[in-house]
Structure 1
């Protein structure tokens, strides 16, 4: 009978691994040992994309067939060698003013999180500054979310429209599968503008494509407005939002990965889900397709804020 708990030395740190045979993905029999093995092997590729970014985790302690929970704050028992960043969390649902976010900068931390059944790793669009509070995004993201009665072809069409529109503003777009049913289109940007500036620009682009292709695109967050359309979610550029990291696992019945894709693959795509083994093959053949996302890009164009209407003066009584 396999041991319920074992300890390994990784990066000079002792990492405790528990219940390796516990099934995390019930439809595939994919175990915790498999999850740990995936993150350990993909570590050299994923770690640069996690560097200096606070990580929000989605944990599935009893596997993906059960309800997960989101976690920002470092859990009790966090090893003292895990880097933490104490950041303000205005509007926190937990009522906290701050949270101690893990920052994943080595394989040991990655494996420690995998052992906690943190299957999904979500990061901000900004890196931690010297003061820990300067949140200027160094990447722009548009999450293409297919509504009911749409297909992969519709999602691809919108991705190509968005790539062309971004290019006209001097921005280079890179694509990755969400690991579920959509696509993420991202651009490296300067890190010199506020999240409000970047969000305003992303929203303006989404609205522009909505006007040009109203039968295909919506920039409206309301679920009822998405039927038959691709929702361009521009809101993830807000400093408080996170997006699943490239190469992160997703929490479906079978293990899938949010995998970077070439534009040739996007144009020819018939499937948007990649397994861990397929991701290893892709990395072995072509390396990290998202390596250019690690470099800074240009500023986004400024978008004029809508003018507020002046209220008519009330007559004095």
Structure 2
């Protein structure tokens, strides 16, 4: 089949035209666009719940991971009319927009359509906008653990365990995943009435860890502070920011994935990195290891009192 050939497929009753299925998007791995679409199709049962009701930001790589990419927040003109969009304010937009029409992925056809656009990376906020909601609902807190060389994901695991203990002591149920790049992320399901509280609370915990382990942890962004340490990036809880979704591919030399982890894997102290094939096998064996962040019964209450120093 020629690289530019197109094929029309039926995906749950939606007719989609797919193109360039043999175009290699990960040159080092020989991983083609057809394989990207296949991965997102097969991982959809566990991925879709993590995208549900969340405005999506994608990173598109039309010429593969070695080529130029662009972030896309605003629904393009070619967005099918059956894809849900939500119009939301974007104060401080770099493109001087007052609002953006975000895509909200709800079903497999939405995901396949995006994969066909070479939208390799899927990024979501820590809040939802359900169809009947009058305003966004903050439901997650996230900590992005970013190692400064020569630190690696091994050091991230050590910090993740320290952070887990602090969160559990405050009544939260954190889970860990690889970023799919070089770091790790922790998320916990929460209830809170103020969108600003997660950022304040996360900042406080990051500073506590920095005080306890100044040899290992840094809570400030300054690059000169980061070599050999792990940045606990609390700022991802800003309502305007997004974090890579669990099970999203990453634009790395290999088709690595942001992969949910068991805590015993974090405790192992081993280097943790998983490709699309690895993750499909893991899900077949373990199911969705990140399902707990969607569990309403596991949501800890985040209060203003938790954001103040002891």
- TM-score surpassing 0.5? yes
- Where in structure 2 are the equivalents of 1:1-317 lying within 5 Å? 1-2=1-2, 4-129=5-130, 134-190=135-191, 192-296=192-296, 297-303=299-305
Q: How big is the shift at 1:53?
A: 0.4
**In the alignment, is the contact (CA less than 8 A) between 2:197 and 2:307 conserved in 1?**
no
CA distance in 2, matches of 1:303, 1:67: 45
CA distance in 2, matches of 1:138, 1:304: 16
3-state secondary structure, aligned to 2:301:
coil
**TM-score, reference length from structure 2:** 0.95
**In the alignment, is the contact (CA less than 8 A) between 1:25 and 1:64 conserved in 2?**
yes
The number of residues matched between the two structures is: 306
3-state secondary structure, aligned to 2:127:
coil
Task: Give the 3 Å change call, closer, same or farther, for CA 302–115 of structure 1 in structure 2.
Answer: same
Q: How big is the shift at 1:148?
A: 1.9
Task: Give the 3 Å change call, closer, same or farther, for CA 21–282 of structure 1 in structure 2.
Answer: same
Task: Give the 3 Å change call, closer, same or farther, for CA 305–177 of structure 1 in structure 2.
Answer: closer
Of 163-172 and 121-130, the range deviating more from structure 2:
121-130
What does residue 313 of structure 1 align with? none
Of 147-156 and 112-121, the range deviating more from structure 2:
147-156
3-state secondary structure, aligned to 2:110:
helix
**In the alignment, is the contact (CA less than 8 A) between 2:142 and 2:237 conserved in 1?**
yes
Task: Give the 3 Å change call, closer, same or farther, for CA 212–301 of structure 1 in structure 2.
Answer: farther
Deviations 1:215-274 (A, max 9, x none): 111110122221121000001111100000000000011100001000001111422220
Q: Select the structure of larger CA radius of gyration.
A: 1
3-state secondary structure, aligned to 2:91:
coil
**In the alignment, is the contact (CA less than 8 A) between 2:129 and 2:137 conserved in 1?**
no
3-state secondary structure, aligned to 1:155:
helix
Deviations 1:281-310 (A, max 9, x none): 111111001111112302124247789xxx
CA distance in 2, matches of 1:130, 1:55: 15
**In the alignment, is the contact (CA less than 8 A) between 1:200 and 1:303 conserved in 2?**
no
3-state secondary structure, aligned to 1:250:
coil
Task: Give the 3 Å change call, closer, same or farther, for CA 304–135 of structure 1 in structure 2.
Answer: same
Deviations 1:85-141 (A, max 9, x none): 111111111111111111111100000000000000000100004576623320110
Q: How big is the shift at 1:11?
A: 1.5
Task: Give the 3 Å change call, closer, same or farther, for CA 288–194 of structure 1 in structure 2.
Answer: same
3-state secondary structure, aligned to 2:146:
strand
**TM-score, reference length from structure 1:** 0.93
**In the alignment, is the contact (CA less than 8 A) between 2:204 and 2:308 conserved in 1?**
no
**In the alignment, is the contact (CA less than 8 A) between 1:83 and 1:103 conserved in 2?**
yes
